[in-house]
A and B are shown apart, each in its own frame.
Chain A
Amino acid sequence: MVDFLCETLGLPGWMASTVVALVQCGLLLGLVATGALVFIWGERKVAGRIQDRLGPTRVGGAFGWLQSLADGIKLLAKEDITPKDADWLLFKLAPYVGFTASFCAWLAMPFADGWVGERVNAGVFFVIAILGLEVFGVILAGYASGSKWSLFGAMREAAQVVSYEVPLGLCVVVPVLIAGSMDLITIGNQQAGWFTNWIIFHDPAAFAVFWVYFTCAVASVNRAPFDLAEAESELVAGFHTEYSGLRWSFFFMAEYGSMLLVSALAAILFLGGWNGPIPIFREFILPGLASITGWPTDSGILEYVGDLAGCANLIAKAATGVILMMWVRWTLPRLRIDQVMATCLKYCVPLAAVCFLFATFFKLVPSANPMPLNRLAPAAERTAVREGWNAGAERVRDRVDAGMGTEGSGQ
């Protein structure tokens, strides 16, 4: 794309790169911000239905779908208060730290084959590393507020997130082990074809570890029943007690951004990423469109359409994950801090470790592994499709044609 801008429009290199970077950041910011608006509205509707009431109904027609927008305008107009006892610098910066960490992880998240802000070779690792930094904003907020409620909330959050990073990391290693790569695009592409190719159906350990991952992900993004940091029944509002207005809303954008992020990560790692449960698109719709329009199936526009469908697929899966989290939040009671720690250390860590061991041994069973054990060879091939928006789709088709993507159904 940089080359395109340089050659066609005659822009200098730095300007072309800046334009590309701005477009990508704008798209991602748009996704995170709009996602937060939609999911906050969705959360209120889901909560309402679960509690046998209607939720917002007035603003913007029958379903109150403009409620979050109205809330946003209200928050913009609110006074931005800094408490007298607060450490003003950290207090003002904390919401941005949290949001930046939540947003930065999106830079390495692919939405379809090749649709990624920056293709990071160790993408899974990068996302997990950045995701762990979101707690930083919460701790800073809790400390800088100069309030005991906030400090309590922040310390609980710190203990919780630092503990839950261990099982989360162990869970993530299992799909990495199965796919033989830490590149999110490679992992997604390997699950092309029928839903039996999804890593969650690869072996029993992968199936079990998905649920452990989901539990740990809910805990690591600080959602109920693990929302000890907020715990409004005991800590007023936890770490954001002293915040108001736009700064307060940044915490919520960060929270909903991370929820969508861990769900999207789950979708890529376990649930086939941008590949639908049934490969109708690559098998029927794209050839159909090709025969109608007369373009070859690997023409740019048709691949774009295919990738667009993949992107919609991924976002639908991620949104399903978020809705599942909402369901959990409004169904289960909040745990105590010792119960949270016990869940992590006594259940999640051993389960993840056992699944990891099982997956390691399963990897050694030759019949269950049509994928080559030695992943050194494709490294060069992987680098070849670094910058392309459309490249790589042929490889998926080749994989499917060669029957390489059908390992999951054998076991």
Chain B
Amino acid sequence: MTVLGTIHVHTLFFFLFAMSTCGFALAVAMTSNIVRMAFFLTLSLGSTAGLFFLAGAEFVGAMQFMIYVGGTLVLLIFGVMLTAQSRFISMRTRAGEWVTTLLVAGAFLLILLYVAWSVDAWTAAPPAHRAADGSLTTQIGLALSGVRLDGGTGYMLPFLVVSVHLLVVLLGAGYLARTKRRNRCVSDVHG
């Protein structure tokens, strides 16, 4: 009982979610079927949302579900629609692609590890303005509209820049995906 008594639920769940995040992320890289890839990506992102919930950031976790997992859903739909010429298409990865991918991913991993080790103490007390988690969502909303309770500058300008950027991307996607005059067979599917 003494050993069992030392188990901390949060730590247990942290390792569970962290392992499933990394494991499914690896599975994304290893799989060759695009729909299975998207499925594993969803699970990986969902586990990341679990990590956010574990940290008490429920709003960010729900955002993770809405934007990333929901976004993958759309990716999956397009993956099926664009690759469905033959059944269960699998994508072969060439050796050169593996090398470039490993280089990029390795460099990113190095940065992440450097950042992780440069933090002094992970178990430091959270800042005071975060203690009441009920106001976290309000704070995020206020910070996005340019007001921060803890005195810093808000995120109004980045928020605007990002939204204009997204609008441009949306218009571009609409332009690219619009029905061409030539292939008339697609034109009766409204979407």
Contact B39 A90 (CB under 8 A): yes
Q: Is A133 an interface residue (CB 8 A)?
A: yes
Residue from A14, A132, A337 in contact with B70 in the complex, judged by beta carbons closer than 8 Å: A132
Q: How far is the CA of A380 from the CA of B134 in the complex (A)?
A: 7
What is the CB-to-nearest-CB distance from A200 to chain B, in angstroms, rounded to a whole number? Answer: 25
Contact A133 B65 (CB under 8 A): yes
What is the CB-to-nearest-CB distance from A110 to chain B, in angstroms, rounded to a whole number? Answer: 14
Contact A136 B73 (CB under 8 A): yes
Find the A residue at minimum CB distance from B8: A14
Q: Is A159 an interface residue (CB 8 A)?
A: yes
Q: Considering only CB atoms and an 8 Å cut-off, how many residues of chain B contact the other chain?
A: 39
What is the CB-to-nearest-CB distance from A181 to chain B, in angstroms, rounded to a whole number? Answer: 9
Residue from B12, B62, B69 in contact with A126 in the complex, judged by beta carbons closer than 8 Å: B62
What is the CB-to-nearest-CB distance from B67 to chain A, in angstroms, rounded to a whole number? Answer: 9
Q: Is B190 an interface residue (CB 8 A)?
A: yes
B contact residues around A122 at 8 Å (CB): 58-59, 62, 137
Contact with A along B30-53 (1 / 0, CB 8 A): 000101100100100000000000
A contact residues around B69 at 8 Å (CB): 129, 133
Q: Is B91 an interface residue (CB 8 A)?
A: no
Known: A14-B9, A140-B35. A135 touches B73 (CB 8 A): yes
Contact B36 A382 (CB under 8 A): no
Q: Is A328 an interface residue (CB 8 A)?
A: no
What is the CB-to-nearest-CB distance from B31 to chain A, in angstroms, rounded to a whole number? Answer: 10
Residue from B61, B80, B87 in contact with A139 in the complex, judged by beta carbons closer than 8 Å: B80
Residue from B5, B39, B80, B138 in contact with A12 in the complex, judged by beta carbons closer than 8 Å: B5
A contact residues around B76 at 8 Å (CB): 136, 139
Q: Which residues of B pack against A, CB within 8 Å? A: 1, 4-5, 7-9, 12, 33, 35-36, 39, 42, 58-59, 61-63, 65-66, 69-70, 73-74, 76-77, 80-81, 84, 87-88, 132-138, 190-191
Known contacts A12-B5, A13-B8, A382-B134; 15 additional CB pairs below 8 A are A12-B7, A14-B4, A17-B9, A85-B87, A120-B58, A125-B63, A125-B66, A132-B66, A146-B88, A155-B77, A158-B73, A162-B77, A182-B137, A341-B191, A375-B138
12 sample A-B contacts, Cβ–Cβ < 8 Å, listed by A number: A14-B8, A14-B12, A87-B33, A87-B88, A120-B62, A121-B133, A132-B66, A140-B39, A143-B35, A380-B132, A383-B132, A383-B135
Q: Which residues of A pack against B, CB within 8 Å? A: 12-15, 17-18, 85, 87, 89-90, 93, 120-122, 125-126, 128-130, 132-133, 135-136, 139-140, 143-144, 146, 151, 154-155, 158-159, 162, 165, 182, 337-338, 341, 375-376, 379-380, 382-383, 386
